[in-house]
Amino acid sequence: MDLTSAQWARIVPLIPIKPRRADGKGRPPTSPRPILNAILWILRTGASWPDLPTRYPPFQTVHRWFQKWTRDGVIENIMKALAEDLVERGVIDVSESFIDGSFAPAKKGATKFGKTKRGKGTKIMAITDRHGAPVGVHVDSASPHEVKLVEKTLDAMVVPFAPTLLIGDKAYDSDGLDQRLAEEYGVELIAPNRARRSMTQDGRKLRRYRRRWKVERLFAWLQNMRRLVSRYERHAANFLSFVQLGCIRILLNRF
């Protein structure tokens, strides 16, 4: 589904548009709206670039702009601007946030992947606010344990402050991580204790863990965007852009 006029109105000020030459010569600048709609079609369907319908610009043009916007940080900036707007409106609240990771198998030719029991792939890490809105995403090799990717995901947050409470599953139960997050980010990590570890968490705070389904729901939404089910992009930055675009679609629905 293409962007609505209202959704496009929120995004268009964030997309650099090359002005036409002063003398009026040369090709007219390409309109970014059909370009972005074409990229979102790829995201939703998971189809290859040459399969773009003829109602969109040529796939070579669309792919070239996708790579340029990725290099220039345009897609990340759109996600950041939308999230910050929602913070100002009181829609996003990161005082209580949730973190989780998901595995995306990598297809032949992709870089920055790791080997796991499920094969070669990429790890998608995400942080949501207390309502389940995406506020930070990071992609990395699937080899490292999720506990080693928490700081990178916090650094990738698109809101101007870190969460007060960060809630994860048993994979994040680590005294060392607890200490680092408290000292470096001012974040209190809440995670159930793994088996064979002594109880160190306050049981009352663990009640918040019951709401962790909100980050799991985010991944369910992202999985509906077929381009994110498996990683086809050779470069990790391009795959991250698709993840960010998925988050942009979700954030737009919050307005």
**What is the rounded distance in angstroms from the CA atom of residue 115 to the CA atom of residue 213?**
27
Whether 103 is covered by a domain: the verdict is yes
* pLDDT at res. 51: 98
Tens digits of per-residue pLDDT, 10-51? 999 999 877 655 555 666 667 899 999 999 999 999 999 999
In a domain, 11, yes or no: no
Confidence of residue 120 (pLDDT cuts 50, 70, 90): confident
- pLDDT at residue 30, rounded to an integer: 77
pLDDT for the residue numbered 118? 54
d(CA 52, CA 246): 18
Query: Which residue range is the domain that position 204 belongs to?
Result: 93-231
**245 is a domain residue:** no
Number of domains in the chain: 1
Would 73 be classed as within a structural domain?
no
Judge whether 206 lies within some domain.
yes
Single pTM value for the model: 0.89
Could you read off the pLDDT of 1-21 as tens digits, one per residue?
899 999 999 999 999 877 655
Counting other chains too, the contacts that 133-137 makes at CB distance below 8 Å and 24 or more residues apart are 133/83, 133/86, 133/91, 133/92, 133/250, 133/251, 133/254, 134/79, 134/83, 134/218, 134/247, 134/250, 134/251, 135/83, 135/92, 135/94, 135/97, 135/159, 137/240, 137/243, 137/244, 137/247
Looking at the domain assignment, is residue 9 inside a domain? Answer: no
- pLDDT, tens digit, 9 for 90 and up, residues 137-160: 999 998 899 999 999 999 999 999
- CATH number of the domain bearing residue 207: 3.30.420.10
